[in-house]
Structure 1
Amino acid sequence: MTDTRGAAWDTYARGQALRRTTNARGETTWFNWTQYPDHGPGAEQLSLPPGGRVLDLGCGSGGNLAHLATLGMRAVGVDVSPAQLAKARARWPGAGDMKLYQGDALDFLFPAEPFDAIYSVFGAAYFTDPAVMLPAVIAALQPGGVFAMSQQPAVQGCYGCQASYIPRGPDEDPAVVRRWDYPTATWLGLLRGFGFVDCAVTVLPAPTGGKRKIGTLLIRAVHEG
């Protein structure tokens, strides 16, 4: 799914702080789709039934997945980075029914039991060709199941496969991973072309009052079945 076998994401993990102990509402777990704290929608985007089975593609240090587990969901997370998963296990040891696996996320889209929702927050779905990722996701969903993902919105004119660089310190070249960027209309066409319905692709604006202005691309679609 990436071309660096986890080494790049181990580097990324070492530079990332753990999630805060509580959010602005005083909650110890919460769901966050955007790159900004206390901003945007929450887990309701997934429309999970009580005790639903959910998969996080590129779960990182596990904050979103832990929140779903504390809500009573059967939460499965996969990440290519052992360092990220070590952070998740250390931070969320009692989060409920949360299972973590190390490996390529695409390998987990052939489950014995389909999922009620599959999601990715700036995660593995961002770094996978949607022509490969979307049909695998829809095959792994229950009929009526939700797929949702968030990522940076595309820069105008910079579409398709792009390079992302992850710094590795002053004495090493950066690690290189690939990501896929498209405008909203292209994403809608891709989703519908692979059989999703009720497709919504929006760019959530950045919070007002700050210096940062880049929004968050949020995708939500349903497996019609």
Structure 2
Amino acid sequence: MNKKFLLLVSFCFILIGAAISVNAETAPRGNSPAQEQIHEHHHRIIDESLMKSLQEQGFTKKEIFIAAHIAKFSNKQVAEVLAFYKKNNSSWEKTAQQYGVDLEKIKKHHHHMDKFLEANKQVVLQKISEYSGKSTQVLQGYLDKGVPLRFLVSGAAMAKAANKDLGEIIQLREQGKSLSEIKTELNVDKEQIHAEMKKLVDEIHKEISKTK
């Protein structure tokens, strides 16, 4: 597998994985591979009202997030996935198999994305700096405070789409808000964010390609 192909695959993971919102959530641990932790930096892919409704039906946040990932990759409704899950003795293995989704692959893809960003950290920071107007020193400061590198990429795209300063997005995150909640608060269309994300990722892609 050549380097250009690997690069392309890695950035596909970034665009898919960064589809709006970061919040650490883990899958319930069990004896089967499908019940292992997916990855601590999960993307919030379900809105708060639906989350609340499903919780009122007795599902836990962890169950809802796993179902949301299965729904996303199989183009199904979260409620449908959870209904099947409950009907089949709360088995994620059976549920994932029913919808043709490999939870282990999702976990590995997210992990691969984080590793890829970290491996190219300086290029990523430089491009975020140019894109957001923040110095690399300021960006490093955010990282030192525990802000994930992937959040800086998503946050920069969010800030651009909302015509806000990246620092404002970071402040909202420090208040405990996810990117999904920030998106709602700033009233930004997800398509705008995706378009800005693609611009930034393309710039990072081009720069890394020069060194390969």
Please classify the TM superposition score into its range, dividing by the shorter chain length: under 0.3
If each structure's strand is expressed as a fraction of its own residues, which one has the higher value? 1
Q: Which has the higher contact order (CA 8 A, sep 6+)?
A: 2
Tell me the TM-score normalized by structure 1.
0.25
Tell me the TM-score normalized by structure 2.
0.26
> Which of the pair has more CA radius of gyration?
2
